[in-house]
Structure 1
Amino acid sequence: MDWDKLRIFHAVAEAGSFTHAGDKLNLSQSAVSRQISALEDTLHVPLFHRHARGLILTEQGETLNRTVREVFSKLSLTQAFLSESKVKAAGQLKITTTSGFGQCWLTPRLEHFLSAHPDIEVTLLMEDDDLDLGMREADVAIRMHPPKQPDLIQRHLANFDMPIYASAAYLEKHGNPANIAALTQHQLIGFSGWHPPLPNINWLIELVRQHGHGGLRHRLEINSIPAIARAISAGVGIGSLPIYVANSFPDLVRILPEQSLPIVEAFFVYPEELRMSKRISVLRDFLLAEIHASKSE
């Protein structure tokens, strides 16, 4: 199979039309169509169903596209690895992490990292869903759970508590609850969403429901941890937050300090192919140093 034809096939499969793929490849629609027809003739199978509204991959086309995507992903990874200096950290570095950790902890510290490594260009992707590192959706991830993919390297970074917080204004208006059972009479703020970014994100809601025999008087749900922190800070209610988020809101007041808390485990995760990457190692060392410094403050 010709590599140029496979490259064009992959572009068509991703774009869903000859015209859009041609625009991306700087080729005419007819040239793209001829290359796809030639590839189908070589393989003796149809790769697309042609419709007036666009193209749909056949079963054979889907199989080929999965393989081609993996091949090009590995080639891109290999190119980055071969071109990277083993002495000096340089090049593109795509980092993914949760919105809470990215907004409240990592982003304010990136200036120090970029200053220390002027030849690294960072792209930060704040996604609460896990991106596929094996498919190069990102180079490295900071995740709040161990990786599920077996072919990824993981390094435990830190454990973060999830204390209970309110605002001074809320406590002045509604009183300071004496225990978990008393929270049944308060407005609680929890996380809403199909894919929670942290294990046990709603532990407080569940615990209060147990003490209240299933009932809560008030409740607000938000699908963003930083937004939950803002709502607590604004006096909307009481909630539990990872301490790395709460530290960005100095007006929060910790309550019920005697209550045992779940922890958030943070992991540094990257593909096996990047084990020797200088960019990865300097980022890992930077994160460990910053976490150590923040805990000693």
Structure 2
Amino acid sequence: MDWDKLRIFHAVADAGSLTHAGDKLNLSQSAVSRQIRALEEALDATLFHRHARGLILTEQGELLFDATSSMSKRLDAAAARIRDSEEEVFGELRVTTTFGFGTLWLAPRLPKLYEKYPDLKIDLMLEERVLDLPMREADVAIRMKEPSQADLIRKRLMTIRMQLFVSAGYLKTHDAPTTPADFSQHRLICQSASAAQVGAGASLVVQLMENAPASLLTVNNYFGVLQGVLHNLGIGVLPDYVAQEVPDLVRVLPEVESSDVPVYLAYPEELRHSQRIAAFRDFVQEEIVASRKQLKMQGKT
């Protein structure tokens, strides 16, 4: 099959227009149209439904577009590996993690990474949905459970737990709870049951609800939970690492916490030799070690 025709087909399918695809490829509309007709004749199939507003893929076109999309991602991965030099770290790195971890732990540390590698371009994708790394939806992921996808290199980074926090300001107007039964005098702030979250956090919330909190505020991510706590609205369920990032937080009911939540870093096997991946992996590990040392110095571990 003619690779050039496939490239043109992919551009047309992606743009939904012969004209827009031609602009992207620096080809005339008529040249693009001829290539598409030739490809349809070679395959003996109609790839597009044509109408006044543009082009829509047929069922056969959808099948071919899936194949060319996969090819494109593989070619991008190969190009990225070729561009990675043995000594320099540069170019785009697409990182995916959860909204909470990305906003509360990773993003505040990125200035250090950019200081070390100023030519690196981070595309930080905060998703509760697990992106498909082998299909190159992202280059590297940090997740709160071990990835199940095949062909991935995995590394366990650390273990976290969900714990209970209030703000220092909240304690100026409310008594700190001494037992879970005291929740009847406080508002519980937590992730909503319908939000994607780690099982350990959801189980802890179920346990806390048995104590009939006086009021409830649910949010669909931990950043929102943190904002509620900082605005003195009640007792929040938050990952333990947040306390180190936000000095105004005070832990309450230290005997109440979730089970362990493992944190994993993963990336495709084909990016094993990527200098950008290695730089990011090493940076995250170094930051975790530094955080542990800081906690020990503060006597929190």
TM-score of the aligned structures, taking structure 1 as reference length:
0.90
Distance in 2 (alpha carbons) for counterparts of 1:131 and 1:124: 12
Aligned residue number for residue 162 of structure 1? 162
Aligned residue number for residue 248 of structure 1? 245
Query: Which deviations, in whole Å up to 9, do the C-alpha atoms of 1:233-283 show, x marking residues without a partner?
Result: 111121111122333321111000122433332111100101122221222
How far did 1:201 drift? 3.1
How far did 1:141 drift? 1.1
Aligned residue number for residue 78 of structure 2? 78
Conserved? CA contact 1:8–1:32, under 8 Å: yes
Aligned residue number for residue 274 of structure 2? 277
- Which amino acid is 1:88 matched to? E
How far did 1:194 drift? 4.7
Distance in 1 (alpha carbons) for counterparts of 2:11 and 2:180: 56
SS in 2 for 1:165: strand
Q: Which runs of structure 2 are paired with 1:13-162 in the superposition (5 Å)? A: 13-162=13-162
Distance in 1 (alpha carbons) for counterparts of 2:193 and 2:63: 33
Taking only the aligned residue pairs, the percentage that are identical comes to: 49
**Among 277, 286, 290, which residue is 2:287 paired with?**
290
1:177 equivalent in alignment to 2:177? yes
Relative distance call for 1:217 and 1:54 in structure 2 (3 A) is farther
SS in 2 for 1:241: strand
Aligned residue number for residue 200 of structure 1? 200
TM-score of the aligned structures, taking structure 2 as reference length:
0.89
SS in 2 for 1:201: helix
Aligned residue number for residue 234 of structure 1? 231
Distance in 1 (alpha carbons) for counterparts of 2:12 and 2:200: 42
How far did 1:193 drift? 7.0
Relative distance call for 1:168 and 1:120 in structure 2 (3 A) is closer
Between stretches 139-148 and 184-193, larger displacement belongs to 184-193
How far did 1:221 drift? 1.3
Query: Which deviations, in whole Å up to 9, do the C-alpha atoms of 1:97-145 show, x marking residues without a partner?
Result: 2222222222222222222234433222222322222222221111112
Conserved? CA contact 2:160–2:239, under 8 Å: yes
**Number of residue pairs aligned between Structure 1 and Structure 2:** 294
Conserved? CA contact 2:200–2:258, under 8 Å: no
Structure 2: 5+ residue stretches without partners: 295-301
SS in 1 for 2:258: coil
Distance in 1 (alpha carbons) for counterparts of 2:15 and 2:57: 11
Distance in 1 (alpha carbons) for counterparts of 2:256 and 2:219: 24
Relative distance call for 1:197 and 1:35 in structure 2 (3 A) is farther
C-alpha RMSD of matched pairs (Å): 2.1
How far did 1:232 drift? 0.5
Query: Which deviations, in whole Å up to 9, do the C-alpha atoms of 1:179-227 show, x marking residues without a partner?
Result: 2232144211121375514333333321122344xxx542111122112
Relative distance call for 1:26 and 1:223 in structure 2 (3 A) is farther
Aligned residue number for residue 217 of structure 2? 220
1:258 equivalent in alignment to 2:255? yes
Between stretches 45-54 and 156-165, larger displacement belongs to 45-54
Relative distance call for 1:160 and 1:41 in structure 2 (3 A) is same
Conserved? CA contact 1:190–1:202, under 8 Å: no
How far did 1:12 drift? 2.1
Distance in 2 (alpha carbons) for counterparts of 1:246 and 1:29: 58
Distance in 1 (alpha carbons) for counterparts of 2:252 and 2:142: 29
